[in-house]
């Protein structure tokens, strides 16, 4: 489906179609024969699926996803290479595992009694809740009986089918259609567009998808919460299984698992339905007027234009005349000092304001310690854009004091709200700050950016051979950009 309609408007629908390449190797079809043990091949073969909750290519062309990150860390501990095999259909995953065509499955599988009869699960790493989803413009069902006679579609081979079979024991007339599609998002889109009455999905995926399809609603929970885990063959190599247990025990204790879960899901419930509807409408009505400016800002900074646009929307809702009571102005909401520092003569002129705001964000990123990795580096720089580098540094110092990692956004967003409490800010150099607002600021931008990445294509530079480096392009296209070693001023 190329378009999505909402409230009389039509939005361009460009779904992620990740290339299946990982760790320097292309993923391939499921091996036809059983694979050798890991210790013999020095290669961990992992069966997964292409999904935003498991494994995908991000906006920078890097591979990401909770399962991808977990597997990569596990392979590092084993000191072996890893090969991802992406299943084309969900119902082929477990059969392939039982034939020992992969060492393990990392695909967001829920632990169910039926599955435990034929495969072995490792330690649980996430709890989810199955939910019945419907279109908000239709009558909300209250229970299973309300689903009888309706169009229900679920993925074949999924745990949702198991749960529906259980429900049919008390509601014999319940019927549904099992589809061979790989991804639940396709079904949720059909529900949001009124093509299907109901479907079932896990709670974390529903929350994520509601940011793309605001007409998608949750009717009720189906059954009790379930846990996600890696799956292994019944006769798994005992040493591999033991190492997986040790791995999950360690990452639960040292906070690695918590940080990964927060990286992918910590922000997805921040926006409400009205926020998403308004943003989608603005993408259709207002964004076209400024898209080229945001793309030119990418030329200057090499920051994804969609992130710059998301920042601009959070700041002003793309209103070039926006002015706050504190005096920040323009589409990217610059202070007078920052505008002067960046050589901006008219903050209300988007042609000056947008590239200046993007350049300021780049300056903040470059001012952070080089050891901070992405995406934390970007989220922390965005927090500094909101609260100022001085308060940001106070929060990083405070994070260290309370035994948190100052280089991790997951930890830092716990420290930032403490800047408003006297017991904490009294001893800090820059004193009081509304650090909680900076957290909301960043988390909203993360959501808007995700929506932008789904509906707007990436932009490739139009200056591939203009200069030996990007610097000439920056100098030609941007306002006076401060030296990256200069101390950034608060915007």
Same domain (yes/no): 422, 341:
yes
Query: Domain total for the chain?
Result: 3
| Alpha-helical segments (H) within 153-237 | 159-168, 184-192, 203-210
Same domain (yes/no): 202, 253:
no
pTM exceeding 0.75 = yes
Among 106-110, 185-189, 319-323, 332-336, whose mean pLDDT is lowest? 185-189
Query: Per-residue pLDDT for 59 more than 80?
Result: no
Q: Is residue 163 part of a domain?
A: yes
pLDDT of residue 478: 43
Q: Is residue 390 part of a domain?
A: yes
- Residues 330 and 336: their CA atoms lie apart, in Å, by 11
Q: What is the mean pLDDT of residues 403-425?
A: 93
The β-bridge relationship of strands 153-155 and 177-179 is parallel
The single residue of 299, 315, 352, 456 carrying the catalytic annotation is 315
DSSP 388: -
Query: Per-residue pLDDT for 60 more than 70?
Result: no
Query: Per-residue pLDDT for 5 more than 60?
Result: no
Q: Determine contact, residues 383/412, Cβ cutoff 8 Å.
A: yes
Same domain (yes/no): 286, 419:
yes
Band of pLDDT at residue 307, cut at 50, 70 and 90: very high
Query: What percentage of residues in the chain have a pLDDT greater than 90?
Result: 71
Q: What is the mean pLDDT of residues 466-488?
A: 40
Q: Is residue 488 part of a domain?
A: no
40 as an active site residue: the answer is: no
Query: Per-residue pLDDT for 173 more than 90?
Result: yes
Residue position matching structure tokens 């020992």: 100
Same domain (yes/no): 308, 428:
yes
**What element of type H or E holds 490?**
none
Q: What is the mean pLDDT of residues 353-364?
A: 96
Same domain (yes/no): 149, 113:
no
Same domain (yes/no): 328, 469:
yes
Q: Choose the final residue of a domain: 265, 290, 322.
A: 265
Same domain (yes/no): 385, 466:
yes
Same domain (yes/no): 191, 239:
no
Taking only the tens place, the pLDDT of each residue in 201-217 is 999 999 989 988 999 99
pLDDT of residue 418: 93
Q: Is residue 322 part of a domain?
A: yes
Same domain (yes/no): 281, 393:
yes
3-state helix, strand, coil in the chain (%, to 5): 45, 15, 40
Taking only the tens place, the pLDDT of each residue in 232-289 is 999 999 999 999 999 999 999 999 999 999 988 988 877 888 999 999 999 999 999 9
Q: Is residue 253 part of a domain?
A: yes
Q: Is residue 490 part of a domain?
A: no
pLDDT of residue 267: 84
Q: Determine contact, residues 54/106, Cβ cutoff 8 Å.
A: yes
Q: Determine contact, residues 135/216, Cβ cutoff 8 Å.
A: yes
* Structural domain harbouring 256: 3-122+228-265
pLDDT of residue 462: 66
Query: Per-residue pLDDT for 6 more than 50?
Result: no
Q: Is residue 486 part of a domain?
A: no
Same domain (yes/no): 258, 392:
no
Output the average pLDDT for the chain: 86
Same domain (yes/no): 351, 419:
yes
CATH of the domain at 52: 3.40.190.10
CATH of the domain at 312: 1.10.530.10
Q: Is residue 483 part of a domain?
A: no
Q: What is the mean pLDDT of residues 382-387?
A: 95
């Amino acid at each position: 489906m190329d378009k999505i309609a909402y409230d009389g408007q039509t939005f361009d629908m460009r779904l992620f179609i990740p290339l299946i390449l990982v760790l320097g190797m292309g993923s391939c079809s499921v091996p036809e024969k059983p694979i050798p043990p890991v210790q013999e091949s020095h290669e961990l073969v992992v069966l997964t699926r292409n999904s935003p909750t498991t494994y995908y290519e991000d906006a920078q062309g890097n591979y990401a996803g909770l399962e991808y990150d977990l597997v990569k860390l596990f392979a590092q501990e084993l000191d072996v290479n890893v090969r991802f095999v992406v299943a084309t259909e969900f119902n082929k995953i477990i059969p392939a595992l039982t034939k020992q065509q992969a060492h393990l499955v990392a695909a967001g599988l829920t632990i169910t009694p039926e599955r435990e009869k034929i495969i072995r699960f490792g330690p649980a790493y996430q709890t989810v809740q199955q939910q019945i989803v419907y279109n908000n413009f239709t009558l909300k069902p209250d229970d299973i009986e309300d689903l009888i006679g309706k169009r229900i579609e679920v993925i074949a081979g999924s745990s949702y089918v198991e749960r529906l079979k259980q429900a049919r024991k008390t509601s014999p007339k319940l019927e549904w259609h099992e589809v061979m599609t790989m991804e639940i998002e396709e079904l949720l889109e059909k529900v949001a567009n009124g093509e299907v009455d109901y479907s079932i999905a896990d709670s974390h995926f529903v929350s994520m998808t509601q940011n793309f399809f605001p007409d998608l609603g949750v009717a009720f929970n189906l059954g009790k919460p379930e846990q996600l885990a890696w799956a292994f063959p019944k006769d798994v190599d005992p040493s591999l299984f033991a190492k997986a247990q040790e791995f999950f025990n360690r990452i639960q204790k040292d906070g690695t698992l918590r940080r990964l879960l927060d990286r992918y899901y910590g922000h997805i419930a921040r926006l409400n339905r009205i926020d998403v509807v308004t943003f989608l409408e603005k993408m259709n009505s207002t964004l076209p007027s400024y898209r080229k400016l945001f793309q030119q800002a990418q030329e200057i900074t090499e920051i994804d234009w969609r992130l710059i646009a998301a920042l601009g929307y959070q700041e002003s809702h793309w209103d070039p005349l926006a002015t706050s009571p504190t005096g920040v102005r323009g589409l990217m909401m610059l202070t007078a000092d920052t505008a002067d520092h960046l050589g901006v003569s008219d903050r209300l002129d988007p042609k000056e304001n947008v590239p200046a705001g993007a350049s300021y964000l780049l300056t903040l990123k470059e001012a952070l310690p080089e050891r901070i990795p992405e995406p934390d580096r970007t989220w922390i720089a965005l927090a500094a854009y909101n609260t100022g580098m001085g308060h940001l540094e106070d929060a990083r110092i405070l994070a260290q004091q309370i035994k948190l990692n100052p280089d991790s956004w997951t930890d830092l967003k716990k420290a930032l709200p403490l800047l408003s409490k006297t017991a904490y800010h009294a001893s800090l150099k820059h004193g009081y700050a509304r650090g909680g607002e900076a957290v909301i600021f960043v988390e909203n931008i993360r959501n808007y950016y995700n929506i932008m990445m789904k509906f707007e294509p990436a932009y490739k530079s139009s200056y591939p051979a203009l200069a030996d480096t990007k610097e000439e392009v920056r100098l030609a296209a941007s306002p006076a950009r401060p030296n990256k070693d200069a101390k950034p001023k608060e915007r």
